[in-house]
Amino acid sequence: MTISRRIVLLAPIIAATIPRTAAAADGADAPAAIRRFYDELMAVMKDAKGLSFDQRYQRLAPAVTRTLELGLMARLSVGPDWTQLRPEQQRQLTDVFSRYTIAVYANRFDGFSGERFEVDPAPAASPNGTIVTSRIVKSNGEKVSINYLMRQGAGGWQAIDIYLSGTISELASRRSEFVAVLHQSGADGLIKLLEQRTAAQRSS
């Protein structure tokens, strides 16, 4: 499995939907959150041969939920239709979206081939938060750029979007898919789709 296939890319951030108050004036501590996340990913990668999928899931769940603001990502993946959902549907979608995200990490970070992580210590200001740039360096020296859009909340610095090659957000297309499923099959249909994809991570 190539390193690019191991990268989990999450929700796109539409500028108008990000509260201006979410951006902290000083993002100097944001890179530390990503370095800690990478340390935990690396530990699982190095131990992966002796771990089952469920064990990797359990090891990664705390790191993923601490580093990624999954509740906001779930809401943004649905878009404006989120406000039309009942509170129970919002809760279920947030839960299954979170479990799916963790399962993708557990599936894709399933081995170690000499990779290393690099995090730029100098974050960049953004109208929507703080940008932390990083790279995964493969054993052959090839670098895969990953940028994190982060903001500071009650739980510390969290990523609210992740970009491969600096600009590519997988959930930009995922959002279009989610909205199409929601319009065709309703919230229950979208929940079912995410449940199926979560289960598929275990067997792929």
Q: What residues contact 57, with CB distance under 8 A and at least 6 apart?
A: 102, 103, 106
**Residue labelled with tokens 């919002």:** 90
Chain centre to alpha carbon of residue 199: 18
| Contact criterion met (CB below 8 Å) for 27 and 156 | no
Query: pTM above the 0.75 mark?
Result: yes
What pLDDT does residue 171 have? 73
DSSP conformation class of 138? P
The CA distance from 139 to 188, in Å, is 43
Question: How many residues are there in the chain?
Answer: 204
Q: Are 64 and 105 in contact (CB under 8 A)?
A: yes
pLDDT along the chain (204 residues), means of 10: 42 42 62 97 96 97 96 91 96 97 95 96 90 94 92 90 79 84 96 96 86
The SS3 of residue 199 is helix
Decide: helix, strand or coil at residue 19. Answer: coil
What is the Cα 197 distance to its own chain's centre? 15
Token match 């979560």: residue?
Answer: 198
pLDDT at 167: 76
Q: For the chain, give the longest Cα–Cα distance.
A: 50
